Amino acid sequence: MALTEEQKAVKKQYAKYKRKVTEIAGEIHDIVEDTIWTDYEKLIDLSQKVQLAMKDVVSFREKHNFLK
């Protein structure tokens, strides 16, 4: 079954939300792996950012009936 243009647009927007979370998580990973001793203070801000970004993902999934 082919996706409608609207479904494609929803899927594309969902991917953008997920990518944002993944990028922030990548920053956290890099600090933990490479620079924890000097950049640990950045983790608080990044943690808050990932929490907000995840709220967007969860809200979007609920609005569009995505399972995960």
The pLDDT tens digits of the residues spanning 7-23 come to 899 999 999 999 999 99
6 has a pLDDT exceeding 80? yes
The pLDDT tens digits of the residues spanning 32-51 come to 999 999 999 999 999 999 99
Please tell me the predicted confidence (pLDDT) of residue 67. 64
State the DSSP string of 17-66.
HHHHHHHHHHHHHHIIIIIHHHHTTHHHHHHHHHHHHHHHHHHHHHHHT-
Question: Global pTM?
Answer: 0.86
Number of domains within the chain: 1
> Could you tell me the residue range of the domain that residue 54 belongs to?
5-64
Per the structure block, which two tokens stand in for 52? 């907000």
* pLDDT band per the 50, 70, 90 thresholds, residue 3: confident
What three-state secondary structure class fits 4? coil
Please tell me the predicted confidence (pLDDT) of residue 65. 86
